Structure 1
Amino acid sequence: MRDYADKVAGMSCGVATPHRPRTHTQKSRPAAVSSTWALPQVRWAAAATVLFGLGLLAQLSGAPAWSHWALYLACYLSGGWEPALSGLRALRRRTLDVDLLMVAAAVGAAAIGQIFDGALLIVIFATSGALEAVATKRTEDSVRGLLDLAPETATRLDASGEQIVDTAELEVGDVLVIRPGERIGGDGVVVAGASEVDEATITGEPLPVDKTTGHGVFAGTVNGTGTLRVRVNRPAADTVVARIVAMVAEAGASKARVQLFIEKIEQRYSIGMVSATVAIFVIPLLFGADLQSTLLRAMTFMIVASPCALVLSTMPPLLAAIANAGRHGVLVKSAVVMEKLATVTRVALDKTGTVTEGTPRLVVVRPLPGSGVTAAALLAAAAAAEDPSEHPLARAVVAGARAADVAVRSATDFSSVPGQGVRARIGDAVVEVGRPAPADRGQPEVGAALEQIEQAGHTAVVVRIDGDAAGVLGLSDSPREGAAKAVAALAALTAAPPVLLTGDNARAAANLAEQVGFEVIESGLLPADKVGAVRNLESGGDRVLLVGDGVNDAPAMAAAHVSIAMGRSGSDLTLDTADAVTTRDELATLPAVITLARRARRVVVANLVIASTFIVVLVTWDLVGHLPLPLGVAGHEGSTVLVALNGLRLLRERAWR
């Protein structure tokens, strides 16, 4: 059998390459997939089946022998030329292909006058290959539903008016006009207009999402009844759709460890099988056995001992699970990752932007007595320093300043230390905004302000001007919808309470843990501390899934057994480091994808048991009894089809639920 993983990998790598002309407005757009009948394997298998049927009809009706022989030989050609050519090419690479062994067995059957048995083998083998091709195509189609989303043209607004341009030419800062019913051409932010956008293709959310000025939109999503102007904030190669292309291509090209093991022993197994076939043929002849029956037994052995079903036991279910997860907004980067997700025994989650919405609000502005700084001046300095930062807390400070009509000045010499804070020059002053240091708590006025803010469950940050503490800001975040249910589901799945990891203070972490249901909390962590926390968990025997979104989560993600990033709010470094990405930023997908991975693992094990059982039973039957060639063919090819279809069950909606 041809390598299933290579087929899907080739598909997913090639989807985004061609540039086909399309109309600009795409209110309804059919999937860019061909019909099943267009598959050459299906057409050749159908032709072989028809010719076999005609040959059988001619044989049973008493027609001249040459007529049914001619029809059977035509069946050989139509159903056997492709696997024979594939096998010969493999042989030129010094690789023994099971396709060639099947064709050799069919030719051997014809050579001893068993043309019917050989033709039956060709028909069943060709049908099995066609079903494998259909199975591959189903996975391709599921993946293409994710990949073939974004339009190829967009309406760009510039000084000369509106222009229809290729979306591949869009640059950051371009303004697009999105009319009702059109697909959005690039990831960006709405700068004018109001509408509802159907984001189901990206996020899996079934209901349209209201969009107004300031809201983010994704390439490939469908605009509703209003007209939007969108400023592009990602280049075409870095949109969510483009990331999906890259991730699915990587997933298709990868192979699970069990698949690699099977491929490693496949060649040795095939050589051993051919050697055994020769022995089964030659040794009885040396003792005077009949040529025809001996050759028939040897051909039957070669067929039933072929590892086709074993080869197809692993990748179809894993790739089907990857495609199913992708349809529901979880992009798993490889089959190896899907295997790892199935073995997770503990889940650790970052707090801000992962368990919480990641959009905190500024709730307290408290200048310190004796600092000589007013609340407005404190907020202005902090917002100016935070303005270049992408951290959620920084955005909250800047948003709070603008809501209070405080002017935000430009900063110079900006620098950021993940997990600690920012530093910038505002005019002649150096402003630092960051987490409280131990020395801050030792200062009575600063310590009292921190105590009061943290006691209320808020996150506190200290603002320093020219090295001296000038005030404290309090920010508050809220848990994501469904966070408590997700945490409870993860605890039930892994039989271990999920761990909350945060750089925030202990009181703020405890406040969130009480709302969501965390039993284990580790707070006040720097990025290196998160790595240590993950390693401590794994040293105790746990296989940790780490879920996060920020730059400061990336080191811990790399250290964890497996990791998932929040796609909407995640930083580029985090998305690159993570093994999987959830585009929805919905915590409910975490227990769902773990459950799906475990189902995939169970299907792989079941497939291996089915394939091994068929081989052992059929080989034993052939060696110690008399296994008819047609029955051996049916058993061998039937097991191959069975394991392929069993794996494809994971494409169904029910497998996700």
Structure 2
Amino acid sequence: MSSTEGMVGVSVVAVRPDRGAVGSTATGWFALSEVRWAAGALVLFLGGLAGWLSGAPAWLWWTFYLGCYAAGGWRPGLDGVRALRGRSLDVDLLMVLAAVGAAAIGQVTDGALLIVIFATSGALEALATARTEASVRGLLELAPETAVRLGPDGEEERVAAADLGVGDVMLVRPGARLGADGTVLAGASEVDQASVTGESVPAEKAPGDRVFAGTLNGTGALRVRVDRAAGESVLARIGALVGEAIRTKAATQLFIEKVERRYSIGMVAATLALFAVPLLFGAALRELLLRAMTFMIVASPCAVVLATMPPLLAAIANAGRNGVLVKSAVVMERLGATDRVAFDKTGTLTTGTPELVTVRPLPGSGLTERELLALAASVERPSEHPLARAVVRAARHAGVRLADAEGFVARPGVGVVARVDGRLVGAGAPAEPPSARVEVDVPANRPTVGLSMEGQVRDVRERGQTVVVVRRDGRPVGVLGLADQPRAGAASAVAALTRLTGAQPALLTGDHAGVAARLAERLGIADVRSGLLPEDKVAAVRELQAGGRRVTVVGDGVNDAPALAVADVGVAMGGAGADLTLSAADAVVVRDELASIPAVIALSRRARRVVIANLVVAATFIAGLVCWDLLGTLPLPLGVAGHEGSTVLVGLNGLRLLRQSAWHRAGREA
């Protein structure tokens, strides 16, 4: 059987060189049709065999056998003729001709059995193709066809989900699926995101949280602002990326196909020689014809061609279900060759959202830490600045009561001022210029009690934190320190990648050295390169690639796009990733889970091992059957069974990577 080059997709094509292009919506029908024709061929074969064994009239069992030939051989025969018109040699046609040749020399039962086994193999292959495609297309079918859009006055309008535009507000009732990616504006609920992110437990959603199309709302009603049109949702991007993956062949596959074209010509020439040369020396025609036909069948490279793409495409589909979109089979193959990883810092190894980590009242202020936090959060509450939101969030988490801020004024680059409980309160940057900053190593247990404001500011900065000074009636009363925190699981992901690649990941960041060094120390990264501009990151990646290393770069910002483009594999964090970065990347981590990166690398390596195992199995079957036919007497039906069986075996072996257990196993290996 010819190879199945494309096996999964959404609005994509499952490509079979021997049978044309099968649209994704037609693949299931195609598989069902193949099964029906194979079943019909089997029934007719059994009827002919029963008639032959029972001594029925020859015309009766011949009729059954001819029906079997027609049912199982018409499609590959027709496609083979079309291939000949295009000056292409089709192995399927050779198989049909071998069956007809067997019938011509009186081996009609053997020929019919060949057709049955051949048709059954094709049906199994088509079912495997449909199964792989359905594993991804099922995600798209989760997206609802309609959604409830709210008008300016709150009126409800049911519209097609495809008609939702960016900025529209949709109402998502309990138990309904979301029609588009967006941000929650009002309401609270739990949303089952397993279909997109793989989370086993529904995620709590409140105003400000992101939600995805196709996910299932829980018990609460949500008002969601649409952030992406239907064609740009995560689910749609899965379809587009998998479609691109199918149309792009891995280097191993391209090499095999190049060899296959020459091999097929050589195989036909060897078959003709195996028949003609002994015939010139007086060998029996019937025996030679059977041996030549058997050789042509068992020497066919079908299993070798099918050994490569199914494992890689199954791995792509599995990774997509678990929140990693790999854009092509080439990328999936390259991921497994990674021997060095480089990370961006902000938004990649860290959350990209500042958090309050230090609260220090100044000597003489008369304030406790809790009172200082309440004062700062009260004046910051009306502000939309990320640092202000972090202070307010920390106060609410601590259960601190906030007072009203009157006469609020925000001064960009300086800070905010308002009256709180009748006193003028301000919060903002320290007065001294940035040149006063000193970056030195500071012991974590260094005493800070009793330090002046300047000393506190210097100490907090030296710890890699952003400083906010709180003033009351013009007098400093406290210092706050805010820092971007590492993502959950960042340290374990770094450790897993170190085990997988045999080298510690590198940290490439535009941040200053003190902040980068402290994060690297927490995560176990020794190679730190800070203060980098985009072009500096490109140079750093090329330096890492020196000596033949295969480098995977992980980033999320626009400034990471050039580095992702020059890396062997570029991986973008999809949650907050810029459009340019997502476009430049070869793979996208949809749910921003760093643990997915070592897992997908381990899955890629497993896919490569499966490819190698398939090639070994296919080559062993071909070599064994060819030697048997040349050195002994290999029955035609047994040769067909061995050849087709090996083809189905390598196909099904590759499809094992579709199972969820394959992803879990890859995670454990990482």
TM-score band by shorter chain is 0.7 to 0.9
Aligned to 1:647: 654
Q: Which residue of structure 2 aligns with residue 573 of structure 1?
A: 580
Asked whether the equivalents of residues 356 and 483 of structure 2 are also in contact (C-alpha less than 8 Å), the reply is yes
Task: Output the CA distance in 1 between the equivalents of 2:77 and 2:352.
Answer: 58
Deviation at 1:512, TM superposition (A): 1.8
TM-score, scaled relative to structure 1: 0.83
* Aligned-residue offset at 1:516: 2.2
The corresponding residue for 1:321 is 315
Rg larger for: 2
CA distance in 1, matches of 2:42, 2:159: 50
- SS of the counterpart of 1:359? strand
Q: Structure 1 residue 612 and structure 2 residue 619: aligned?
A: yes
In structure 2, the residue matched to 1:426 is: none
Tell me how far apart the structure 2 counterparts of residues 255 and 321 of structure 1 sit (CA, whole Å).
Answer: 14
1:467-486 → structure 2 map (5 Å cutoff):
475-486=482-493
What does residue range 594-605 of structure 1 map to in structure 2 within 5 Å? 594-605=601-612
Q: Show CA shifts across 1:271-328 (max 9, x none).
A: 2211211111111111111111111111111101111101101011111111111111
* C-alpha distance in 2 between matches for 1:546 and 1:47: 53
Offset, 1:236:
2.1
> In structure 2, what residue type is equivalent to 1:125?
F
Match of 1:525 in 2: 532
SS of 2:352's equivalent? coil
Paired residue for 2:517, among 510, 516, 535? Answer: 510
Residue equivalent to 1:19: none
Cα distance in 2, alignment partners of residues 44 and 167 from structure 1: 39
1:122 is matched with 115
Asked whether the equivalents of residues 322 and 332 of structure 1 are also in contact (C-alpha less than 8 Å), the reply is yes
Residue 256 of structure 1 pairs with residue 250 of structure 2:
yes
Q: How does 1:64-213 map to 2 (within 5 A)?
A: 64-159=57-152, 161-213=155-207
Report 1:550-561 matches (<5 A): 550-561=557-568
CA contact 2:181–2:234 (8 Å) conserved in 1: yes
Once residues 581 and 461 of structure 1 are traced to their aligned partners in structure 2, the CA distance between those partners, rounded to angstroms, is 35
The Cα shift of 1:441 comes to 5.3
Percent of aligned pairs sharing the same letter: 64
Q: Please state whether the residue corresponding to 2:608 is helix, strand or coil.
A: helix
CA contact (8 A) 2:437 2:461 kept: no
Aligned partners of 2:8 and 2:317 also within 8 Å = no
Report if the CA contact (8 A) 1:338-1:597 is conserved: yes
Paired residue secondary structure (1:231):
strand
Query: Deviations for 1:374-432, whole angstroms, at most 9, x for unmatched residues?
Result: xxxxx9xx999x98xxxxxx744676699996968799xxxxxxxxxx9xxxxxxxxxx
Distance 1:608 1:585 in 2: 35
Equivalent in the alignment of 1:371: none
- Match runs of 1:540-551 below 5 Å: 540-551=547-558
Q: Quick one: distance in 2 between partners of 1:184 and 1:153?
A: 9
AA paired with 1:618? L
Tell me the CA shift for residue 540 of structure 1. Answer: 3.4
Q: Distance in 2 between matches of 1:555 and 1:334?
A: 20
Q: Is this contact kept in 1: 2:299–2:626, CA < 8 A?
A: yes
**Contact preservation (8 Å) 2:561, 2:585:** yes
- Per-residue CA deviation, residues 429-478 of structure 1 (Å, 9 max, x unaligned), is xxxx9xx99967599xx99898534312315799xxxxxxxxx9964111
* Residue of structure 2 aligned with 1:310, choices 299, 304, 307: 304
Q: Is the 8 A contact 2:2 2:305 kept in 1?
A: no
How big is the shift at 1:364? Answer: 8.6
Structure 2: segments with no counterpart, 5+ residues: 15-24, 361-376, 396-401, 414-428, 440-452, 470-478, 665-670
Residue 79 of structure 1: how far off its partner (Å): 0.6
* Counterpart secondary structure, 1:6: coil
Is the contact between residue 360 and residue 475 of structure 1 (CA under 8 Å) also seen in structure 2?
yes
User: Secondary structure at the residue paired with 1:360?
Assistant: strand
- Counterpart of 2:423? none
Q: Tell me, yes or no, if the aligned pair for 1:218 and 1:240 is still in contact at 8 Å.
A: yes
User: Does the 8 A contact of 1:320 with 1:648 survive in 2?
Assistant: yes
Candidates 336, 339, 344, aligned match of 1:342:
336
| Runs of 5+ consecutive residues of structure 1 not aligned to the other structure | 16-31, 367-378, 388-393, 412-421, 423-432, 463-471
Cα distance change, pair 100–192 in 1 and its aligned pair in 2 (3 A): same
Q: Is the 8 A contact 1:401 1:407 kept in 2?
A: no
Instruction: Assess if the C-alpha contact under 8 Å between 1:219 and 1:240 holds in 2.
Output: yes
- Among residues 495, 498, 502, which one is paired with 1:495 in the alignment? 502
* Superposition deviation, residue 12 in structure 1: 4.3
Deviation at 1:654, TM superposition (A): 2.2
> Judging changes above 3 Å, is the alpha-carbon distance between structure 1 residues 184 and 312 closer, same or farther for their aligned structure 2 residues?
same
Aligned to 1:430: none
Q: Is the 8 A contact 2:31 2:123 kept in 1?
A: no
Q: Secondary structure at the match of 2:486?
A: coil
- Residue 410 and residue 110 in structure 1: after superposition, are their counterparts in 2 closer, same or farther (change >3 A)? farther
Amino acid corresponding to residue 580 of structure 1 in structure 2: A
**Residues 229-267 of structure 1 deviation map (CA, whole Å, 9 limit, x = unaligned):** 111122222211121111111111111111111222222
- CA change 1:113–1:383 in 2 (3 A) is farther
**Conserved in 2, the CA contact under 8 Å of 1:459 and 1:505?**
no
Q: For 1:586-627, what per-residue CA distance to the aligned partner results, in whole angstroms no more than 9, with x for missing partners?
A: 111111111110010011011111111211221122122221
Distance 2:31 2:647 in 1: 23
Q: Deviations over 1:187-210 (max 9, x none)?
A: 111111111111111111111111
CA distance in 1, matches of 2:88, 2:30: 31
- Looking at structure 1, the residues matched to 433 and 649 of structure 2 have their Cα atoms a distance apart, in angstroms, of 62
Task: Report what 1:13 is aligned to.
Answer: 12
Q: What RMSD, in angstroms, separates the aligned Cα atoms of the two structures?
A: 3.5
Contact 1:499–1:520, Cα closer than 8 Å, also in 2: yes
Name the aligned partner's letter for residue 13 of structure 1: V
For residues 300 and 244 of structure 1, the distance between their equivalents in structure 2, rounded to whole angstroms, comes to 44
Pair 1:519–1:297, CA change in 2 (3 A): same
Distance 1:274 1:215 in 2: 63
Point out the more displaced range, 279-288 or 401-410.
401-410
Deviation at 1:361, TM superposition (A): 3.3
CA-CA distance at 1:185 after TM superposition: 1.0
